[in-house]
Structure 1
Amino acid sequence: MATKKRKPKKLSPITWILIGVLAVMAILITFMTVSVSRITARNAQSNMQTVAAERAKVIEDYVIWAEDTLTNFSHASDVKNLLLNPNDTEAKNQAQKYTSDFASKIGDLEGLYIADWNSKTLTHSNPETVGTIIREGERLDQLHNALLAAGDDTYTAGILISPSSGKQVVAIYRCIYNGSEPIGFVGLAIQSEKTLSDLADMQISGLENASYLLLNTEDNVYIYAPDPSMVGQVCEFPDVQNVNASIISGSGEYKGVGEFKDDYSGTMMLSTYVYLDEYGWTLLFNAPSSEVYSMRNQLQIFILIFGVLILLLVGIFGIINAHQENVNRKLGLQVQKNAATEESLQTAMFQDILTEVQNRVSFSVDIENIQTDIDNPCYCIMFDISELAAINMQFGNDAGDAVLTRTAQVLKEAFPDGKVYRTGDDEFVITILKNDNSPFAHNQVVNEIIKAQSELMKKQDIPDGQIDVAYKIAAVRTADELNTTVIAVLKDMAKHNGISSIGQFPFLDLDSM
């Protein structure tokens, strides 16, 4: 015995809604995760850039303080007096005392001195080095050129390794003039290692493993690095070299952010850089990406867990709903049958089955409920198919049905704001309630009538070919109370006017009668 195949059950609207909710939730969770990730990543990068800028400002302020210190030292009359009288013992002693006293007030001092134009020291914070030649030959020429280019300003040679102590120092010079003639210069070397180390030791919440590097932009040589052995060495990272090269060429920005893999530790690092253009240095602030983006990662995990919980709740609700649907399925089927029966009765009572527009019963109910006043007039238009009975007799009932169906369709399209009724075998009435009593509203109705006329005057398809169909048309307007007698008025107008040509039909204002 053959078994009867069961038809697959259709999904209920609630089930489809649940599926839709699940899909929307999945999309929202994904969108939220991506959006939050981008925002927190941008905030983290912005925080890194802020920290790098702060570090650069500390270094810049430190150098400016050293420059101001040397400038203040150079303004003393003892300095210029010694350079004008280098062989005057009293001038030399006075200048040496001034140099020693001034130097005693400078912390982390490597050396403070006065030198003649040939770079011979005339005074020094360490008196034992007086008479030392600081630079000779090409290096002296380079220093002269830099001093003259600086004019009355200081010339910062950078952070260098002191040949006497082997420590990092900030080397600063300032030219002394007699009128416009250079007669010598003053020099200051302050040990920078402690300041740079203190800067590195400053803790940043959430970035415990952050570090920074300071390089000479032109030659990529480390000025400061967490590993002291790297100082003075050339940086071999291609990304850093490319950044410095773009800065020197003028094609790069003076600050930026990027991500790279540390070849030594294998850790992904986020790096921001700031170019100190006045000194030709590049500051790089580096931190492990996992630390920089820790907030982003935590938010991602939270959103994902929250999303999974929401999806689970929706899924559980779906299971409960499916169970409830199975329990109520039989009752639902019965309700559907009753609803279908009621809908059929409603359709049979108020709708014309052939044309699918409202029938005369519906018109009789609706016309009594139309609320009109002087600012809200109602327009009623009749389209009466001329000789429909003759069409049925000559071409058959199918041809007549085709004409009725097409007429109803054309009228629905031509009067989008109106309601179409089939009030008789061959007649249709359209009601249009306007909230505008202006001539524009009146002309709009007239134009819609002409539009319907133009379309209906075209040859109409019937099963055996095409035929021409004529119509009797009449229209009325009123702001007064309406009832079913308006059909009789329209019929009488249409009958007396006869078959209408395009743009030719009676239009009566009932309120003027």
Structure 2
Amino acid sequence: MAKSKKKEKKKFKISLNLVLLIQLAIMLALTIFITNTVSKRTKENAESHMAMTTEERSQVVLNYIELLERQLSDYSRARQVTDLMNKVYDEANGQSSDELTSDVKDMSVEELTKIAQKFTQEFGGSIPSCEGLWMGTWDTIVLTHSHSQESIGMQTRKDSAKLEELQNQLLAKGTGVYNAGIIPSPATGQQIVSMYKAIYNENGKAIGLVGLGIRTDGLIATLNDISGANKDMNNEKNKQKYGNSELKDANYLMLHSIDSTYLFVPDSEKINKEVEVPELKSLCEEYGNNNKEDEGLVTYKVNGNEYVSSYVYIPKYNWLFLVSAEQKDVYALTNGMRMFLIVFSAILVALTVVFFFINKRQEKINQKLVSTIAKNSQTRQSLNTAMFKDVLTNANNRVSFAMDMENSDVSAQKPCYFMMFNILGFSEINTRFGNDAGDRLLVRTVETLTEVFPGRNVYRTGSDEFVVMIPSEGGQPAPDQVMNDVNTAFRQLMVPEKIENQGAIYPKYKIAVIRRSGPADTSVVSALKEMTNVRGEATYGMIDYREM
């Protein structure tokens, strides 16, 4: 009888050990799965954020260059320029100046030059970082110059081959601007953006040209004014604002794909010199004179440090624009989350083993174990909330938006509306009324959007911007209904927010709506940002709407 009881106890003991092994195996499997899943998501989010940052900055570069080209075109059309150019050409070729007005026809070249020189100085002085704005004959003899009186009368292209090359480029561009790219200035040696435009008479004959040189430090300053890369982290304000950003120590690089040379690089001594990093040089060779826009990610090593760069190829100028940072910074959140989950899971497994053996004899400890498991469950739930929710407004965050975009089913049959509400002048509101007032405005914005768009996903995709996602099917909701709801939300958001002893906040917004009929991803946010930046402050009943 006693032997029988011992056997039963032994079987029971073996059974408990087996349960423990199974439990430990399950916990280990869950640990590996959760760690890999979270690490993958955070890594993808980091790369996506870096790609969005690079795309935004490359667009700033393009907008900057296009603005300069428009300014040069405006200058070339000015009467002070065309009158002098026609007068000089007609006198040089023994032609009558019938195309000129009577008051100008009677003026001498010297008088017209004086007028044009004054206009050139004023126009060039109004262009930030301008190294020189000038006009000259078709043989590049300088007639006026905004910053260098000594250059007047000089020929900038004395070499006949170089002169012919420039003239051919200008004729090929017709009435457009020929952008010579980023080059060292022949006059000062400084790095400049150089561009030219031909001037034609009424018979379509090229009679002269205008030129513009802009120091690239103006473009770099414009890029540095945007949050993110290239910030001076010795500045206390920047340190507080961007200290936790994975791009706080990032840098801009810009390469010329044909020449494989640096255009922008932190080490100024490398500017206009050949790229020496093998991976970046291969990237230049890959794109070369390619005429198709592209973007991607590249990793490389410099002095033993591993870097990751998100790049955008700009075929119009054969430029590769990169935002580059050390891998340990870019994937800091990924590595941190992985370590946290490993440690957390290891502790959880250890606690499970300890409490399992104690639980066999003491019911009180068993209750503590249940309580511990409940707390751990709550911790996991809090972690999930911290990952996918904005703590202040309880709106979905950027990570949640990126994941929802991956799982979204958007097509021509099931289009989706995306609308952005961007608080205008939010930093000034914080400065004037305090951060608490700014926080209340953010919370009120989410509450209003949730109320007007019940059951719809509201995301906080930036410090002062929110995106609402509305799927549709079978034509419902219709665009008119959506725009009516947007205007309703706008009207409610414009209600002043009273601040005790400080007056009231009169909020303003930038708003844009996109109806997407194809696969959607996080680039929708960039498109919405671009629309709001172009339109500026929203006007009731005139919200910007676009179908993509």
Q: Residue in 2 aligned with 1:189?
A: 213
Which letter does structure 1 place at the counterpart of 2:81?
Answer: V
Which letter does structure 1 place at the counterpart of 2:155?
Answer: I
1:278 equivalent to 2:316? Answer yes
Once the two structures are superposed, what CA deviation does each residue of 1:269-300 show, in whole Å capped at 9, x if it has no partner? Answer: 11111111111111121111111111111111
Q: Residue in 1 aligned with 2:125?
A: 104
Q: After TM superposition, list the pairs within 5 Å mapping 1:158-307 onto structure 2.
A: 158-178=181-201, 179-197=203-221, 199-200=223-224, 204=228, 205=242, 206=245, 207-248=247-288, 250=290, 254-262=294-302, 264=303, 266-307=304-345
Instruction: Output the CA distance in 2 between the equivalents of 1:253 and 1:242.
Output: 17
Q: Residue in 2 aligned with 1:327?
A: none
Question: What displacement does 1:202 show?
Answer: 5.2
1:146 equivalent to 2:175? Answer no
Which letter does structure 1 place at the counterpart of 2:182?
Answer: I
Which letter does structure 2 place at the counterpart of 1:124?
Answer: H
Aligned-partner SS, 1:85: helix
Q: 1:124 to 1:251 in 2, by over 3 A?
A: closer
Instruction: Output the CA distance in 1 between the equivalents of 2:265 and 2:58.
Output: 15
Note the residue ranges of structure 2 that are not aligned, 5 or more in a row: 1-5, 92-108, 229-241, 363-548
Q: Residue in 1 aligned with 2:143?
A: 122
Q: 1:212 to 1:146 in 2, by over 3 A?
A: same
1:318 equivalent to 2:356? Answer yes
Question: What displacement does 1:244 show?
Answer: 1.6
Q: 1:261 to 1:200 in 2, by over 3 A?
A: farther
Q: Residue in 1 aligned with 2:156?
A: 134
CA contact (8 A) 1:18 1:314 kept: no
Which letter does structure 1 place at the counterpart of 2:54?
Answer: A
Once the two structures are superposed, what CA deviation does each residue of 1:444-480 show, in whole Å capped at 9, x if it has no partner? Answer: xxxxxxxxxxxxxxxxxxxxxxxxxxxxxxxxxxxxx
Once the two structures are superposed, what CA deviation does each residue of 1:217-270 show, in whole Å capped at 9, x if it has no partner? Answer: 1111111211111111111111111112221264997211122221x2x21111
Q: Residue in 2 aligned with 1:69?
A: 71
Instruction: Output the CA distance in 2 between the equivalents of 1:317 and 1:252.
Output: 62
CA contact (8 A) 2:290 2:315 kept: no
Question: What displacement does 1:51 show?
Answer: 1.4
Aligned-partner SS, 1:56: helix
Q: Cα RMSD over matched residues?
A: 2.4
Question: What displacement does 1:310 show?
Answer: 1.5
Question: What displacement does 1:131 show?
Answer: 1.1
Question: What displacement does 1:81 show?
Answer: 1.8
Instruction: Output the CA distance in 1 between the equivalents of 2:256 and 2:289.
Output: 15
Note the residue ranges of structure 1 that are not aligned, 5 or more in a row: 1-5, 325-513
| Number of residue equivalences | 318
1:309 equivalent to 2:347? Answer yes
Instruction: Output the CA distance in 1 between the equivalents of 2:225 and 2:64.
Output: 16
Question: What displacement does 1:39 show?
Answer: 0.8
CA contact (8 A) 1:246 1:252 kept: no
Aligned-partner SS, 1:148: helix
Question: What displacement does 1:150 show?
Answer: 1.4
Aligned-partner SS, 1:164: coil
Which letter does structure 1 place at the counterpart of 2:217?
Answer: E
Q: Residue in 2 aligned with 1:40?
A: 42
CA contact (8 A) 2:291 2:316 kept: no
Which letter does structure 1 place at the counterpart of 2:198?
Answer: C
Instruction: Output the CA distance in 2 between the equivalents of 1:66 and 1:301.
Output: 49
Tell me which of 22, 25, 33 is aligned to 1:23: 25
Which letter does structure 1 place at the counterpart of 2:137?
Answer: D
Q: After TM superposition, list the pairs within 5 Å mapping 1:477-488 onto structure 2.
A: none
Q: 1:210 to 1:70 in 2, by over 3 A?
A: same
Q: 1:203 to 1:176 in 2, by over 3 A?
A: same
CA contact (8 A) 1:247 1:253 kept: no
Instruction: Output the CA distance in 2 between the equivalents of 1:227 and 1:79.
Output: 40
* Range with greater deviation from structure 2 (269-278 or 241-250): 241-250
Instruction: Output the CA distance in 2 between the equivalents of 1:158 and 1:259.
Output: 27
Q: 1:35 to 1:252 in 2, by over 3 A?
A: farther
CA contact (8 A) 1:111 1:189 kept: yes
What's the % identity of the aligned pairs? 33
Question: What displacement does 1:42 show?
Answer: 0.8
Aligned-partner SS, 1:19: helix
Which letter does structure 2 place at the counterpart of 1:239?
Answer: E
Question: What displacement does 1:203 show?
Answer: 5.0
Q: 1:201 to 1:267 in 2, by over 3 A?
A: farther
The alignment's TM-score, normalised by the length of structure 1, stands at 0.58
Question: What displacement does 1:323 show?
Answer: 6.0
Q: 1:314 to 1:65 in 2, by over 3 A?
A: same
